[in-house]
Amino acid sequence: MKAAYAPYTLNFITPGGTSRGIMKTKDTYFIKIWEESCPEIFGIGECALFKGLSAEDNENYETKLVELCQNIENGVPTDLSCHSSILFGFETAILDFTNGGKRICYPSRFTDGEYKIPINGLIWMGKKEEMIARIDEKVAAGFHTIKLKIGAIDFKEELEIIKHIRTKYSDKDLEIRVDANGGFSPENVMKRLSELSKYNIHSIEQPIKAGQWEDMAQICRNTPIPVALDEELIGITHPMEMMELLKTIRPHYIILKPTLTGGLSGSLEWLKMAAQFQIGGWITSALESNIGLNAIAQWVTTLQPKIPQGLGTGMVFSNNIESPLRQWEDYLIYDKDKHWFIPDFKWNNI
């Protein structure tokens, strides 16, 4: 079996604002596998490194990709326990290849165009007027759940935005999830959660920075708003540590990004462990291209989700990969009448 990888830079249509800063581009990598005797049939997966967030973000990342490609060709295993995004890319490339190289990882009613995945609308940080306009656009487009990035601009302004939402849309009409990306501190978090709770917030993601287990556990015990862990899960791959985190913090939800939380296999393990503590959760993308988003969506379908998932990022890039994925109202669908177009990437053959 042959293997190669290629880098690619995705460009945001509109810069995305988070508490970690403004994002204008997103670097990613693709891995391709095929049989030398039949190169036109290949599997492709996305190794969606998230700089500044991925636990594997270091100068040896491409070295690991080279090692993986060499090992694939030599038929030997590669330790990817500390390389979540590369594991995700490898897993999904194998699934794609196994299913005929048609970008189908999990054949299902979703890929048959008969099932649609409920998703939330993502509202990036920005000026107050911009954010309000984006929220109105999402509601007009048919969304009933929005995820609002908070924690970077003045908190009073953020509260004003949420208050504005609630004057126009009741909690029966619009569910609000907020994501602080660790933007609060242990000193101010409870006061801010109390203020947010006045507006019927569904949940808050990662109110304080990851790694403060005892502080987060205390927040989860006393919060007026259900707490979801996000960044807290990144880089934790050993089952004993995963279990200890959930047992210690006891969040209400976990939010899984497969490219950051151990690939598909690691994310499934997180879900199984969380279920033992009656902890809910959902799946979100981590700003992958349509190649990675497609694989995540197909995997999510196997989980039979009951609540909106965070898979609405396919429209944020100007140079995304052309695919059958489409947003329809507050659903992600697979349009069988559309086709994949894989650009001529600059493949690094080993």
**30: buried, middle or exposed (CB in 10 Å: 19+, 13-18, 0-12)?**
buried
Show the tokens assigned to 343. Answer: 């650009």
The count of residues in the chain is 350
Annotated catalytic residue: which of 26, 116, 138, 149? 149
Annotated catalytic residue: which of 102, 257, 338, 346? 257
Question: How far is the C-alpha of 158 from the C-alpha of 197, rounded, in Å?
Answer: 13
DSSP H or E stretch at residue 280: strand 280-283
Which amino acid is residue 121, in one-letter code? G
**Residue 149 is among the residues annotated as catalytic for this protein:** yes
- Name which of 317, 313, 320, 310 is nearest 341 in CA terms: 320
In the chain, alpha helices (H): 61-74, 84-98, 128-141, 155-168, 189-196, 213-222, 239-249, 263-276, 290-302
Active site residues: 149, 257
